[in-house]
């Protein structure tokens, strides 16, 4: 007499596990392809999916892409200094009729290039032996703003003559002089040249990302 035992195991178990793993892998791959939108991971995703990235590199399209940068601020110049303002009498000594103020000044000058002024004639695209090149002439760099940091600008000393009241306008006039001094110092230190250099690097990076092999930005 032979006794048979039924273990209750089914051959469909490994198949279901394989199917589940396959579905999870497909979902992970789809998620990767959707999320990989830039850099090295995007290039891997493009190869897996067999897709290619193309850009409109006509002159008009390039102008529009660069113009989107608008007022490209590339340099922030900071300065800490002491600025003096004074009033004096042609007749009486300062002890009697003078007014003097010393300001501890902290300010910033911001420079860059207004790329909205870029024109189609400022761009020249070439192609030699399959190598695409581009030359861009940027607008002139400019000083966008010169401002004092009011939180860090303060009166260091104030002296007023015995015979005269405190001149309420002297501080505001001294602040205005401080802004002029900041602007002059920033310009003499080459802020516009630095702004142009940094803008050239930014625009060149953009153009390389659009597929140009030779880029010249001046």
**What's the rounded Cα separation, in Å, for the pair 77 and 189?**
9
> Which residue in the block uniquely carries the two structure tokens 């030699």?
128
Report pTM: 0.66
Pick the residue with more confidence: 192 or 40? 192
pLDDT at 155: 86
Is residue 54 in a domain?
no
Mark whether 81 and 124 lie in a shared domain.
Answer: yes
Mark whether 158 and 137 lie in a shared domain.
Answer: yes
Mark whether 152 and 205 lie in a shared domain.
Answer: yes
Counted domains in the chain: 2
Angle at 206 between CA 202 and CA 207, to 5 degrees: 115
Is residue 1 in a domain?
no
Mark whether 105 and 200 lie in a shared domain.
Answer: yes
Mark whether 116 and 45 lie in a shared domain.
Answer: no
- β-pair type (131-136, 123-128): antiparallel
**What's the rounded Cα separation, in Å, for the pair 53 and 50?**
10
Is residue 4 in a domain?
no
Mark whether 43 and 74 lie in a shared domain.
Answer: no
Mark whether 44 and 150 lie in a shared domain.
Answer: no
Residue 105 buriedness (CB in 10 A; 0-12 / 13-18 / 19+): buried
Mark whether 19 and 115 lie in a shared domain.
Answer: no
Crossing angle (nearest 10°) for helices 191-209 and 168-188: 60
Does residue 197 have a pLDDT over 80? Answer: yes
Judged by DSSP in three states, 61 sits in helix
Mark whether 19 and 122 lie in a shared domain.
Answer: no
Is residue 3 in a domain?
no
Is residue 2 in a domain?
no
Is residue 19 in a domain?
yes
Mean predicted confidence (pLDDT) in 189-210: 93
Is residue 7 in a domain?
no
**What's the rounded Cα separation, in Å, for the pair 154 and 129?**
63
Is residue 131 in a domain?
yes
Pick the residue with more confidence: 27 or 73? 73
Mark whether 103 and 181 lie in a shared domain.
Answer: yes
pLDDT at 98: 77
Mark whether 125 and 185 lie in a shared domain.
Answer: yes
Structural domain span for residue 112: 59-217
**What's the rounded Cα separation, in Å, for the pair 73 and 111?**
6
> Which residue in the block uniquely carries the two structure tokens 């113009």?
67
Mark whether 104 and 29 lie in a shared domain.
Answer: no
Does residue 201 have a pLDDT over 50? Answer: yes
User: What is residue 151's DSSP assignment?
Assistant: T
Does residue 45 have a pLDDT over 80? Answer: no
| Assigned token pair, 34 | 């959707």
Pick the residue with more confidence: 10 or 117? 117
């Amino acid at each position: 007499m032979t006794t048979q035992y039924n273990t209750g195991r089914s051959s469909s178990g490994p198949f279901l596990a394989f199917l589940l793993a396959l579905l999870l892998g497909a979902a992970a791959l789809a998620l990767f392809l959707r999320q990989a939108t830039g850099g090295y991971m995007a290039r891997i995703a493009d190869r897996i999916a067999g897709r290619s990235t193309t850009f409109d590199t006509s002159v008009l399209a390039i102008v529009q892409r660069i113009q989107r940068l608008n007022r490209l601020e590339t340099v922030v110049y900071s300065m800490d200094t002491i600025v003096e303002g004074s009033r004096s009498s042609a007749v009486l000594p300062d002890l009697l009729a003078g007014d003097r103020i010393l300001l501890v000044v902290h300010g910033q000058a911001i420079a860059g290039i207004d790329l909205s002024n870029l024109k189609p004639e400022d761009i020249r695209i070439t192609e030699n032996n399959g190598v695409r090149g581009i030359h861009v002439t940027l607008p002139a760099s400019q000083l966008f703003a010169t401002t004092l940091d009011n939180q860090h600008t303060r009166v260091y000393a104030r002296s007023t003559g015995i015979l005269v009241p405190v001149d309420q306008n002297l501080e505001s006039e001294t602040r205005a002089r401080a802004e002029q001094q900041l602007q002059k110092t920033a310009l003499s230190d080459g802020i516009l040249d630095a702004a142009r250099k940094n803008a050239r690097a930014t625009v060149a990076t953009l153009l390389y990302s659009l597929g140009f092999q030779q880029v010249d930005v001046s």
